[in-house]
Amino acid sequence: MTFANSLSLKEKAHRLIPGGCQTYAKGDDQYPELAPGFLARGKGCHVWDVDGNEFIEYGMGLRSVTLGHAYEPVNESAYRQMQLGHNFVRPSPIESECAEEFLGLITGAEMVKFGKNGSDATGGAVRLARAFTGRDRIAYCGDHPFFSVDDWFIGTTPMAAGIPAAVSSLSVKFKYNDLASAEAVFDQYPKQTACVILEPEKETPPAGRYLQDLKSLCEKNGAVFILDEMITGFRWHNGGGQAYHNVTPHLSTFGKALGNGFSISALAGIREIMKLGGFDHDRERVFLMSLTHGAEYPNLAASIEVMRTYQREPVVETLWRQGERLRTGVERAIHDQGLEGRFAVLGKPCCLVFATRDTAGKPSQSLRALFMQEMIKRGILAPSFIVSYAHRDEDIDKTVRAVGESLEIYKSALAEGVEKYLVGHPLKPVFRRYN
């Protein structure tokens, strides 16, 4: 396997684009040196790089491609709409059609507005919450890695350069599954907190009635309860993580799988709050997700077909089943190599990730790079273990065999030193202060 074309493109990309690509999570520092640098096409769960190498993929467009790459019914729906136009000077009926389809699935929501990126939706949710409550402070879950590119969140990360400290200071973190930590925020800033924002679930599920109790705490303190469903939405359940966990947020945000790779996001919630972005109220106006391309019609058409596919076919059930098949096989390989505590599979079957740990049991970016390197050699591109509707049994089984062989090398690296086996640099966290 060679990457000559990728290497020649890399220099050009870094000369023209800061970081060499449009999304930090896709950057060179997130992959081992022996990795495909540029992907040219995909079909189902398979992708081909610019050198013609084929891989089974488990990143799936940063979890946005749930049905599979180039899923024909979705592409056809978008194509038919393209023939009619992309963007008019007045609304199109497809906006209401998409909204009706969405609200039919997210049963606790009464109104919805569409954007292009997840940050459009979470940023809109935060602005609505501030306007609705008349408060400035944001409580966000510090155990969840990413909510927005907006200042209110990025200012809390190590990559806070360019963001005023006054803005960053308005965002306060709490811990997941720790109701007392959220109570402490309200106690420290009485009648100042506009909202609480978190994902329904990450690798750790909510304990008992944590989500319901957190919502009650918000209501007791006059704050808006926001669930970020960018990842859980259209993966855990057709109705999202909120349906899976039986909790109805005041506001929730969706994206990623909603468009199967097409750029679309959604902010949904109860009418009392959502209507502040419209005309049916006598309060101050809220500038809510008024985007030139917010209702790009081919993307709405794609999303409608995605949602109808979910209702017509067993998409979520397949994600859970194939994820469980993968988890079982990987855990068997871990056991066979005696690597319990050094390599682990985490999360729900529909959204698996893996953890790499050194001999002291601490997270290791070098071992992560090594494992990805060895999987790539065997035709598997796996920054995570995210399955799609397109992953067949034979794809899963081939992956499990590759994991077993890769973990043999991993075990040797633990004993002899990772530098003996890893070519090039270790990986780096996206959020770091300096390069």
Shared domain check, 63 and 93:
no
Shared domain check, 93 and 66:
no
Q: Which residues contact 291 (CB under 8 A, 6 or more apart)?
A: 115, 116, 120
C-beta separation of 112 from 271 below 8 A = no
Shared domain check, 368 and 290:
no
Predicted pLDDT at 194: 98
Predicted pLDDT at 203: 95
Predicted pLDDT at 397: 98
In a domain, 426, yes or no: no
Q: For 228, what's the count of Cα atoms within 13 Å in the CB-facing half-sphere?
A: 25
In a domain, 428, yes or no: no
Q: How far apart are CA 171 and CA 126, in angstroms?
A: 11
pLDDT tens for each residue of 179-189: 999 999 999 99
C-beta separation of 252 from 241 below 8 A = no
Q: Which domain holds residue 115?
A: 87-295
pLDDT tens for each residue of 195-237: 999 999 999 999 999 999 999 999 999 999 999 999 999 999 9
Shared domain check, 187 and 155:
yes
Q: Which two tokens stand for residue 82?
A: 């393209």
Q: Which two tokens stand for residue 272?
A: 């009392």
Which parts of the chain register pLDDT below 70? none
Q: How far apart are CA 18 and CA 161, in angstroms?
A: 15
- CA 388 to chain centroid: 14
- Provide the domain count of the chain: 2
Predicted pLDDT at 216: 98
Residue with tokens 């259209």: 234
Predicted pLDDT at 73: 98
Shared domain check, 140 and 230:
yes
Q: How far apart are CA 114 and CA 388, in angstroms?
A: 24
Shared domain check, 14 and 40:
yes
CATH assignment at residue 35: 3.90.1150.10
Predicted pLDDT at 77: 98
Q: What is the pTM of this model?
A: 0.96
Predicted pLDDT at 92: 97
Strand 224-228 to strand 265-269: parallel, antiparallel, or no bridges (unpaired)? unpaired
Shared domain check, 318 and 229:
no
Shared domain check, 361 and 257:
no
C-beta separation of 276 from 269 below 8 A = no
Shared domain check, 91 and 210:
yes
